Every structure is written in structure tokens, then in C-alpha cells.
Amino acid sequence: MSRRRSRRLAVPGAEQGVNAFKAEVMRKEGYTVDPAHPDDVKYEVAKSLGVPLTPGDNGHLTTEDAGHVGGKIGGSMVREMIRMAQEKLSQRQP
């Protein structure tokens, strides 16, 4: 029996901030982001990667294709978080 993953964030109420961060990062990556629907950037990313992602059921996608889209977005967000942390650490006074 397969388990469904919980897609809720660990911190209640953080979704708006995470979506804003995602929009900012993906804008820096050169993607067009609708501020009202920042999560929709995944369709533009999928298109640029040649993955046929559409709104609604995407049961036809392979795990690999879905991973390419999520990895592009998540990887960009992680790189930006690391860059921000390094910048903060370098500003600390010894």
C-alpha cells in the first residue's frame, strides 16, 4: 500500500512566505511569475524542460519527469537559501 506525502509545511502560516520566496527565486532564474499564482511557475519550468505538465491530472508523467520540474524549482530555492546564509555569516563581526 502506498502512502501519500503530506504537502503541508512544518510551520503553520508559512505558505505565503514560501510562495513569495519561490516567485522571487524563479524570477531571478528568468521565468515569468504571476504574483497572484506563484505556484504556476512550475508549468513554465516544465515547458522549458520539455515535460508535458498540465493543470489537473498528470498521472501520465514519469517520476523522472516530475523530478526534473521539482528539482529545478527546489534546487534553485536551496541554492538561494545557501547564498543568503553565507552572506549573513560573512557579515558577522568576530
Rounded to two decimals, the pTM is: 0.79
Q: pLDDT tens digits, residue range 55-67? A: 989 999 999 999 9
No. of helices (H) and no. of strands (E), the chain: 3, 0
Note whether 22 and 77 are within 8 A (CB): yes
**What residues contact residue 35 under an 8 Å CB cut-off, 6+ apart?**
23
Using alpha carbons, list the distances in angstroms from residue 15 to 31, 76, 89. Answer: 20, 18, 26
Confidence band of 94 (pLDDT split at 50, 70, 90): low
| Residue type present at position 22 | K
pLDDT higher than 50, residue 45: yes
